[in-house]
């Protein structure tokens, strides 16, 4: 892994491969999204809410995205039981730290969250990482369609 200062400079120059996982659930007939809070001293998105994700690393096993997906499920969702990952789409967008080539997935959370909080998916909070609004609504719509819920 690169030191953060170097990573940040590289991220300005190349499109960084990212895995994003949108954790969702149905609760009392409503779709909810699990959002995590970034650190207060985060250099790009201080104290903002976000969905779990990770950079694809050169040390990840070639041939699949299993390593970064496992990282998200174990380190950010802390192994909370979920459904299988469901692919939504690829997106090339500017995240605030640079261009990102992101693969978007959703999971249905089947246990209680260890970190973060659930929010009504139809009323996302105002302090969410803005660039994630480029894909969160699509993941929510995909989840609803797969579950045939509103």
CATH number at residue 140: 3.90.79.10
Q: What percent of the chain has pLDDT over 90?
A: 79
Encode burial over 24-53: b for 16+ CB neighbours within 10 A, e otherwise: bbbeeeebbbbbbebeeeeeebeebbbbbb
87 is a domain residue: yes
4 is a domain residue: no
Q: Is the pLDDT of residue 8 over 70?
A: no
Phi-psi region of 22 (alpha: psi -120 to 50; beta: other; left: phi over 0): beta
58 is a domain residue: yes
Q: Is the pLDDT of residue 9 over 80?
A: no
Tens of pLDDT, residue by residue over 12-59, are: 667 889 999 999 999 999 999 999 999 999 888 999 999 999 999 989
For the four alpha carbons of 127, 9, 16 and 101, in that order, the dihedral sign comes to positive
Number of folded domains in the chain? 1
18 is a domain residue: no
Which residues form the domain of 95?
Answer: 23-147
Residue 97 pLDDT: 81
Q: Is the pLDDT of residue 150 over 60?
A: no
Helix residue ranges, H only, the chain: 4-11, 66-71, 136-147
């Amino acid at each position: 892994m690169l030191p953060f200062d170097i990573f940040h400079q590289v991220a300005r120059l190349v499109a960084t491969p990212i895995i994003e996982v949108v954790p969702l659930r149905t609760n009392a007939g409503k779709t909810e999204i699990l959002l995590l809070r970034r650190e207060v001293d985060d250099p790009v998105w201080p104290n903002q809410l976000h969905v779990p994700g990770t950079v694809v690393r050169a040390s990840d096993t070639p041939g699949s995205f299993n390593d970064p997906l496992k990282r998200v499920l174990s380190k950010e969702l802390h192994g909370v039981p979920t459904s299988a990952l469901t692919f939504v789409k690829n997106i090339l967008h500017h995240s605030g730290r640079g261009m990102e080539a992101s693969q978007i997935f959703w999971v249905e959370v089947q246990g209680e969250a260890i970190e973060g909080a659930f929010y009504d998916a139809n009323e996302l909070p105002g302090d969410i990482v803005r660039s994630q609004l480029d894909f969160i609504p699509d993941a929510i719509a995909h989840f609803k369609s797969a579950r045939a819920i509103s």
